[in-house]
Structure 1
């Protein structure tokens, strides 16, 4: 159920995307911001984030300094479950349950109880950002961390 949602992209957003694509030669599939954490998330093709982190780390650090932002790279995967695991790569995910709801997928992510707070984030920031990213590609009715 691929959904590529249309979003308004500002001139500033285009600048951030252009810097990234120029420095790394990688296409940005989608771009997300979390102003509260001064964070920019770039969603890339499979294999691209790993390549950049392994072989272009200094350039990535340069981008962070240039933009004065924290930068997170995520790899898109057409398999929804794998994409969810990519989004929660810093969390020990035990299981992902995906059900069809009336208005899209109902996703439940089961995590290590010790990491549940980190997965949810302060004021549910991590959940909101994860749902925004997932919703750019799929119809997501709900996203719950258990």
Structure 2
């Protein structure tokens, strides 16, 4: 059996705004506008009103990570995510060094509009991690 590529899809209210937030979080890039359009604004202006700003995407410039796709939906977020992203900033670090890396990343993301939910400190079984919310309230962790 072959390994399959996949994308992670987010239902959201403002696809481009949320995609650009995640570009900043992950170091991802937004795609160029569709062929024949100088900007995304030009592309959106060409669409029927109900399709304007309906979707946006971003991807890992190295090609290693999955593409993220953001699609506008009419309903707001109503429950806890069943799936969330873990942003790996402390890999290979332990103790105070790991916690310092997580706290520094948390401060950077809060400045971008993320919400710090709490800090979970290391115990006998788990290393520290920090649950957060993105700019539309979707849960994610930095670990």
Q: TM-score normalized by structure 2? A: 0.32
Higher strand share: 1
Q: TM-score normalized by structure 1? A: 0.31
The structure having more radius of gyration, on CA atoms, is 2
Higher helix share: 1
